[in-house]
Amino acid sequence: MSDEAPKTDSKTLEKTSEQLTNEIERLDQVIATEPIIPGGSPNKRLRRKFKHDRHLIDSDYLPRKRKYESNNAIFGDRNSFSKTDPDATFMRMKEDAMQNGQLKPGYNLQIATQNQFALYYDINQRPADQRTLIPFLQSMDFQTTPIKYIVADAGYGSEQNYNYIENKLTAQALIPYGMFEKEQTRSYRRDASKIMNWNYDPIKDYYTDEHGIKFHFIREGHRKDKGGFVRNLRTYRALDYDDPEGYFYAHTPGGNLRQININPNWEHHKQQMRERLKDNDETKAIYALRKIEDEPFFGNLKANLKYLRTSVRGIEKVTTEAGIAIMAANLLKLTLKVNVIFRKSIVKKIIVVFRFNISLKTTIILFCVAYVPASPFISLINLQRRMVKDP
C-alpha cells in the first residue's frame, strides 16, 4: 500500500473551499440561536478552524496550485521555460562570457542542406539534438523526393533515430553514436574490461570476460525512457564459481553475482555505423561532406549576416524570422555562384546590371516567400544546432 498522499488539483481545492463556506454559514445559523455556553462554544471553535482553513486555501494554496498548473501546461515535455518568452527553453550556449556554463533561454535551430543551401529548417524547443531529428524528418516530404542517406553528427545518434530512419524512411543513416570515436582508439580496443571486447558464443548464448568468467542469459526485459521509447534488453548473469579467484571476479563487492544488460538492436545499429563510417569508402566519403555542408552555412549565417540572436519572441515569430534569415543566406550564396559564372563568360557591365536586378528581387522574395516550400530535391541531409534567444 502506498504512503503517498493523493494529488490535489485546483478544482478539488475550489470544491473544498466551497464546502467550508457552506459549513461556516450553517454554523453561523446554529451559533445565532444557541445560548451562552460557559467555557466557550464548540461551534465557535469549529467555525474559527474552518475560517482559518478557508483563508489558507483562498489566499495561498489555490493561487499557488493554479500557478503550478499553468506552468506545467507551458512546460509540456520540457524541463524549463523563460518568463520573458514562455516558448523558449533554457539551454547551454557556446556563448559563455562568464565561463561557468550558465543557461540561457533559446531555441534549437535545425537545418537540412545540400551543396551549402538550406532546403529545410525547423525551430525546436528541446535542448538535446537526439529528440529533434524525428520531428524534423516528419516535416519533410520524402514521398515525392525519396532519399538514400541521412547524414548528421554524433549528437543525433540514438536507437530510436536509427529505427525511424531504417524502418520508416527506408534510408541509410550515416550518424555516429556518442562513443563511436572513442571506440576507435587503440586504448579502448585493447581494454579487456569493455563488453565490446569480450568473447561471445552465439550458439550457447553466453559472454566471457577477460578473467574467464562466463555470463549466461537469464531473462529479457524492457526499459522505457522519459520520451516514451522502449528498449528491449537481455540480461546475462555470471556463473557462481567455487574457487576463490573465480568467486572474486564473478561477484560484486556487495556479494551479488555480476550482471550485464545487452541491447541487441542497439548493438546491431552500432555495428552498422562502424561498417558504414569506418570500412565502407563510399559512405565514409559521404559522411565526410558534412564538415563542408552545414558548417559553412551556419558560419555564413552568423559571421556575414550577423544573425546571432533572435529579435522577436514566441516560437511562431522566431520560426518566421529564422526562415527569412535562412532565405537571405541562400540568396546570397546563389548570387555569389551566379556572379562567378557570369564573371567567366560575360562582360563586367552586364554583371553590374544583373547584380542590381538580383538585389531588387531579393527584397521582394524575402517578404513573399516566407512559407513557400523549399526545393523539391534533396539527397543529403545534414542537421545542426541551436540559435541563441535574447533573455
Q: Give 255-323 as a DSSP string.
A: SPBPEEEE-HHHHHHHHHHHIIIII-HHHHHHHHGGGGTHHHHHHIIIIIS---EESS-SHHHHHHHHH
Q: Please check whether residues 175 and 300 belong to one and the same domain.
A: yes
In a domain, 278, yes or no: no
Find residue 206's DSSP bridge partners: 201, 216
Q: Please check whether residues 24 and 100 belong to one and the same domain.
A: no
Question: Which of left, alpha, beta for 4 (phi over 0: left; psi -120 to 50: alpha)?
Answer: beta
- CA–CA distance from 354 to each of 189, 305, 322 (Å)? 58, 22, 27
Q: Please check whether residues 194 and 161 belong to one and the same domain.
A: no
In a domain, 122, yes or no: yes
Range of the domain at 321: 91-179+285-389
In a domain, 140, yes or no: yes
Residue 342: the pLDDT is 67
In a domain, 126, yes or no: yes
Q: Please check whether residues 129 and 168 belong to one and the same domain.
A: yes
Lowest-confidence range among 5-14, 107-116, 134-143, 318-327? 5-14
In a domain, 369, yes or no: yes
Is the model's pLDDT at 361 over the cut of 70? no
Residue 3: the pLDDT is 55
pTM assigned to the model: 0.76
Q: Please check whether residues 263 and 298 belong to one and the same domain.
A: no
Q: Please check whether residues 206 and 328 belong to one and the same domain.
A: no
Q: How confident is the model at residue 351 (pLDDT cuts 50, 70, 90)?
A: very low
In a domain, 227, yes or no: yes
Q: Please check whether residues 261 and 300 belong to one and the same domain.
A: no
Domain count, the chain: 3
Residue 115: the pLDDT is 85
Is the model's pLDDT at 40 over the cut of 50? yes
Is the model's pLDDT at 198 over the cut of 90? yes
Q: Please check whether residues 163 and 209 belong to one and the same domain.
A: no
Q: What is the mean pLDDT of the chain?
A: 83
Residue 369: the pLDDT is 24
Out of 217, 238, 269, pick the residue that ends a domain: 269
- The three cell numbers of residue 156 are 543525433
